[in-house]
Amino acid sequence: MADDAVPGGFAGRLGVTVEGTGDGEATLGFEVRGEHLNPAGTLHGGVVATLVDTVMGQAVRTTTGDGEVPATSQLTVTYLRPGKPGRLEVRGRVRTRGEHLTICEADVEQEGRGIAHAVATFALLDR
């Protein structure tokens, strides 16, 4: 299990950390700070969408071969309650792996309570 920033890219710039990956699953950590809030003072929905997309992408990558690149083709996020400053845990898992498409789920929790649930389809592209 790694405890370091997501390598490069947008999620890494936000401060997302990989807490664990393996066999179709991934867990990320994230600290919500003032710059992640919307005008209402709660966690911005776009940050949540980035978190679930990132964790599911990490989960898919644990199941792909060297010649496959996962690309998000559909993402649905259900926002359950507002997030606030503090620590989030983001968990993603592969639900169904097909030859060309993979279906995933993700959950975002803060202080043991659900913030969001997401479902996504990833296309598996050849390099």
Name the average pLDDT for the chain: 92
pLDDT, tens digit, for every residue of 71-122?
A: 999 999 999 999 999 999 999 999 999 889 999 999 999 999 999 999 999 9
Task: Establish how many alpha carbons lie within 13 A of residue 28's alpha carbon, considering only the half-sphere containing its beta carbon.
Answer: 29
CATH number reported for the structural domain that contains residue 43 in this entry: 3.10.129.10
Is it the case that residue 2 has pLDDT exceeding 80? no
Residue % of the chain over a pLDDT of 70: 94
Domain of residue 66, residue span: 4-126
pLDDT value, residue 7 = 59
The count of structural domains within the chain is 1
What is the pTM assigned to this prediction?
0.92
21-48 burial, b at 16+ Cβ within 10 Å, e below that, comes to: beebbbbbbbebeeebbeeeebbbeebb
Is it the case that residue 3 has pLDDT exceeding 50? no
Rg of the chain over CA atoms, in angstroms?
Answer: 14
How far apart CA 55 and CA 93 sit, in angstroms, is 8
Please answer whether residues 25 and 93 qualify as being in contact, where contact means their C-beta atoms are separated by less than 8 angstroms. yes
> Which has the minimum average pLDDT: 1-15, 46-60, 63-77?
1-15
Q: How many CB atoms neighbour CB 96 within 10 A? A: 10
